[in-house]
Chains A and B, each alone.
Chain A
Amino acid sequence: MSLGVLAEPFMQRAILACCLTGVVCACVGVVVITMRLAFIGVCMSHAAFAGALVGLLVGAPPLALAFPASLVAAGLVGPLADRSDFSPDTALGIIFASTLGASFIILGLMPGSKAPALGLLWGSVLTAGRIDLWILGGVTAAIVALALIFFKEVQAVVFDRRVAAAVGLPATALFYGILTAAGAAITASLHVVGGLLVFSLIINPAAAAQQLTYRLDHMLLIAAALGIVSALLGLAVSYLADLPSGAVIVVASSVVFGLAFAFSPKRRAVRAARGAA
């Protein structure tokens, strides 16, 4: 492959989209996995995909419906996670299956070519347009700015929502703000990695960063860097091997996680402590 492809506008847009997706998904992922909310994110990403399909079906902009759909999923699962009389796993199972079922019904109802819908399912970074980049850039900038401004509040909520509330922070509002940010990140990333795969890019770089540090600020930076590396590595491999970009990006992020896990100083420390005990 000639490096000349890097001068092509479509590839430059793809590289920028990868960098932005890597950063925004990783930032959200750090909060999601530290709070052990992976199940809410899975539901949100599938709901976003279903919403986008509804948009395609009725002729509306897909992302305009994906965002509210992801928030509806968060609004349903989030409160259930707080209730002691209802298992969050059950809520996950119901909403996950419902959104996926609804998605495939909409796919079946869709007349003509299914290519745009499948593009939202698997992602298509090489066709990212200017509007996709503006949306992705805007959401990334907003989430990074909010993370910088409200770092201490996010840190307290991530540590324990009851502690955050007990010291006088608006813990519930912050929690739903985090879910909204996750919904925005998922929606903005749909075009790049697709509705089925976006959540892997949220989880893997953050989980990899969690293996490498005990500080939340460092974890955010490492996760963002690993998110970019995963996305660019996946893009390069998918272009060279002519494979679906979204799927390869997700596999690349899994490889990055595997390496971080294998060389995790935290894991070694736990092992050493167990050996000493």
Chain B
Amino acid sequence: MALAVCIEDATVERGGRVALDRISLTVEPGLLLGVTGPNGSGKTTLLNLINGLLLPVSGHVEVLNEVVTPASSRRLRRRVAYLPQMAPPDPRMPVLVREVVLMGRYGRIGLGRRPGADDYAAASRAMQRVGLAELADRPIGQLSGGEQQRVALARALAQEATILLLDEPTTFLDQSARADLLELIAAIHAEGRLTTLLVSHELDFVRRICKRIVSLEQGRLTTTAEVAA
């Protein structure tokens, strides 16, 4: 079976220092992989390596059977949905929820082309799935933290990607919103068997929903643990 992600001996440097040090990792299609580790251990760098926002200085990275290069990375990002860790947007941000979700389609629509009926339909389905349909015409800055993360998740779903990368999606959320969001992520994965990498500090939950967990420390993979069903 072809791998969704295959990283071999990859080293990544950021700001003149080694952020990932000769790591190797394989991810099978449909896997929900938990990524843990202390701050600064390289978790976000790992996600950025997989979606081509960062390139290795040495080693080999292949995602969805395509070698990640400067030429392929932007094309690849259309098939890899990424939710970066984000602070809440400006409350005055002149963008509606529907428009943020539709942004998930922008890469595949192409430069200078307008969204079509298919794109609007995909965005509506995604909003429906995460329970945001009635908030579609609200300004994004007026939503709660939990609702904004649901919008980000809907954007990723609208992208109809093959891989989903989630970077600390529960940051800035209260306990109740954190639990709701993680349940939603688990449910979406269970429905679509979307290959998912979840970076999170919620260790108990990560252990409960992930089939495998990898730990990073100072840019190195220190632990890979299979979780019993």
Contact = CB atoms under 8 A, between A and B. Distances in A.
Interface of A: 34, 36, 84-85, 149-150, 152-153, 155-156, 158-160, 162-170, 210, 213-216, 218-219, 266, 270
Given A85-B15, A159-B93, 14 more contacts: A84-B15, A152-B103, A155-B95, A156-B103, A159-B95, A162-B86, A165-B53, A166-B53, A166-B77, A167-B78, A168-B78, A168-B107, A210-B92, A214-B94
Closest 10 A/B residue pairs (Cβ):
A168-B107, A214-B139, A168-B78, A166-B82, A168-B77, A167-B107, A216-B94, A162-B84, A219-B94, A149-B112
A266 B112 contact: no
Given A152-B114, A168-B78, A163 B103 contact: yes
Given A34-B93, A160-B86, A168 B99 contact: no
Interface in B70-100: 74-75, 77-78, 81-84, 86, 89-96, 99-100
B94 A166 contact: no
Interface of B: 15, 51, 53, 74-75, 77-78, 81-84, 86, 89-96, 99-100, 102-109, 111-112, 114-115, 139-140, 155, 159
A84 B111 CA distance: 30
A168 B103 contact: no
Contacts of A215: 94-96
28 contacts: A150-B111, A150-B112, A152-B102, A152-B103, A152-B106, A152-B114, A153-B106, A155-B99, A156-B103, A159-B89, A159-B95, A159-B140, A160-B86, A163-B155, A164-B103, A165-B53, A166-B77, A166-B82, A167-B81, A167-B155, A169-B107, A213-B94, A214-B93, A214-B139, A215-B96, A216-B94, A218-B94, A219-B94
Contact of A167 (B99, B104, B111, B139): B104
A214 B96 contact: yes
Nearest to B141: A214
Contact of A266 (B53, B92, B103): B92
A163 B77 CA distance: 11
Nearest to A211: B92
A164 to B, nearest CB: 8
Contacts of A152: 102-103, 106, 109, 114-115
A215 B84 CA distance: 24
B74 A34 contact: no
Contacts of B102: 152
A219 B104 CA distance: 23
Contacts of B74: 168, 170
A156 B115 CA distance: 13
Contacts of B155: 163, 167
A150 B108 CA distance: 14
Contacts of B15: 84-85
Contacts of B89: 159-160
A85 B14 CA distance: 12
A168 B108 contact: yes
* Among A150, A156, A158, residue most surrounded by chain B Cβ atoms (within 10 Å): A156
A241 to B, nearest CB: 35
B126 to A, nearest CB: 13
Contacts of B86: 160, 162-163
